[in-house]
Amino acid sequence: MGEKEFVMETKPRTIGELRRSGYRPRSVREEMRDNLIRKIRNREELFPGIIGFEDTVIPQVENAILSGHDIVFLGERGQAKSRVIRSLVNLLDEEIPVISGCEIPEDPFRPITKEGRDKVAENGDDTEIAWLGREYRYSEKLATPDITIADLIGEVDPIRVAEGRYLSDELTIHYGLVPRTNRGIFCINELPDLAERIQVGLLNILEERDVQIRGYKIRLPLDVYVVASANPEDYTNRGRIITPLKDRCGSEIRTHYPRTAAVEIDIMEREKADFLSEPYKTAVPVFMKEIVAEISALARRSPDINQRSGVSVRVSISNYENLISNAIRRAIRLNEEYSAPRISDLPYIVASISGKIELESVDEGREDQIIEKLIQGAVLNVFNRYFTPLELGAMIAKFEEGLSVETSDTMSSKVYMQRLAEMNGVTDAIKKLGAADNPATIASGLEFILEGLHLNRKLNKDKMPGKAQYRRPRS
């Protein structure tokens, strides 16, 4: 039954009332499958906020759920694995009935623990039930070497033993995270990092439906939908994960980084920090967004960067935020109404990219050189998509006549506006960039054109502390 079919003015409060309401219990897999089918039929958004997976990952997830498969998501860091996994909660019913007061969520019609069975045996149809919201039916654990069986499955509670119960009494057990996620979704992140003996225990409780705690064996037929994430290299490496556990997961789905700059930019825009009290009007020209996305794209292909650890989309988001922040900082200091990131702001992304990439070489000072190379490569690639040097021949001619232009991340936009009159053809080029809206974007467009011509070896660039000067090449 769909999640909306039991929304009523007065919810059943006992097993008897629930039975008379016509409620039919379903497994988690059946529940998710039914709700997925309903959402597809109604053309509802299945995974809000997930971009770029529409034709790749999402169809595979849909197939896995329709097949009733547990899932392992394989991908490098920053590929939205956790976000996809957490969004699976939307496929659960809005709320479900459980036996009130039990340590784990119990199906009122099919209790699996002694505590639940005793309650039903004692009270029958008068057994009280509670309604559990979907947000409480998801549990997540990061696999680390120090995780114990007690964390995931359970342990004997010495306080309950001290109260007079026998060790063999099931009521002495304090259940771990997996049993407490009964009738829900359990996620284990970085699955290969789980110790082998813990993997065996997890396999037993999921496949064999039994568990041994301190030598006491109990049957625990849990209803849990299991999802895991892993780095592909760790997951396929022999010895990192036991084969039976791999076999238990019905579908392995590979995630990926954004395959186009447009998707990466869309993610950057959605995920960047926004402040409601922001007093400054900030406009980011499209070419600056493309440069940020291109930096990440180049980093993901760079032989200098460890590709096994990946280059997260968070690199693009953090770089974008730092770029905007430096533009706002300039507007604050110069008391300008508008702010827009420029090429001269790009060095400030070193702080946001350095901690998020792993280099193949650890030579002193090598990191800054690699990042600078990425930035230059990104600017050159984006510039060459907009212009050829031939289009800017009139501007180049002015430099050959002796013109030189100074740029700086602390220079007022008004100064750039004054320099425009000295150059031919720049106004049209800035309009082509879509950057003619205000002095801040015009300054950004001018710096981009100057840097692009320099990287195409049409202008020389002299770097000085806090500024740069563009001039004609030496003959």
Residue 9 lies in a domain: no
What span, in angstroms and rounded, lies between the C-alpha atoms of 67 and 412?
A: 61
318 and 241: one domain? no
pLDDT at 174: 82
314 and 249: one domain? no
Residues whose CB is less than 8 angstroms from the CB of residue 27 and which lie 6 or more positions away in sequence, other chains included: 223
Hey, what long-range contacts does 269-273 have (CB within 8 A, 24 or more apart)?
270/49, 270/51, 271/313, 271/317, 272/317, 272/320, 272/321, 272/324, 273/321
270 and 209: one domain? no
Question: Of 32, 17, 96, which Cα lies nearest the Cα of 64?
Answer: 32
Residue 388 lies in a domain: yes
pLDDT at 145: 83
pLDDT at 226: 92
Residue 10 lies in a domain: no
442 and 462: one domain? yes
291 and 244: one domain? no
Q: pLDDT per position in the chain (475 positions), as tens?
A: 444 444 445 889 999 999 999 999 999 999 999 999 999 999 999 998 899 999 999 999 999 999 999 999 999 988 999 999 999 999 999 999 999 999 999 999 999 888 999 999 999 999 999 999 999 999 999 998 888 888 888 887 777 766 766 656 667 788 889 999 999 999 999 998 888 888 887 887 777 666 666 666 677 788 999 999 998 887 776 567 888 888 888 899 999 999 999 999 999 999 998 887 677 789 999 999 999 999 999 999 999 998 888 899 999 999 999 999 999 999 999 999 899 999 999 999 999 998 888 888 766 667 888 999 999 999 999 999 999 988 999 999 999 999 999 999 999 999 999 888 788 889 999 999 999 889 999 999 999 999 999 999 999 999 988 899 999 876 5
What span, in angstroms and rounded, lies between the C-alpha atoms of 63 and 454?
A: 51
190 and 281: one domain? no
Residue 446 lies in a domain: yes
List the structure tokens of 93.
Answer: 């019913």
φ/ψ of 128, rounded to 5, equals -75, 145
75 and 172: one domain? yes
Residue 6 lies in a domain: no
Per the structure, the complete domain to which residue 134 belongs is given by: 15-254
The number of domains in the chain is 2
List the structure tokens of 367.
Answer: 């990191």
Contact yes or no for 103/280 (Cβ under 8 A): no
- 230, 254, 278 — which closes off a domain? 254
pLDDT at 102: 92
What span, in angstroms and rounded, lies between the C-alpha atoms of 191 and 60?
A: 20
pTM for the model: 0.85
φ/ψ of 337, rounded to 5, equals -70, -40
Residue 4 lies in a domain: no
168 and 185: one domain? yes
- 231, 254, 277 — which closes off a domain? 254
Residue 157 lies in a domain: yes
204 and 281: one domain? no
350 and 231: one domain? no
Residue 245 lies in a domain: yes
407 and 322: one domain? yes
- 224, 254, 284 — which closes off a domain? 254
Residue with token string 């929304």: 7
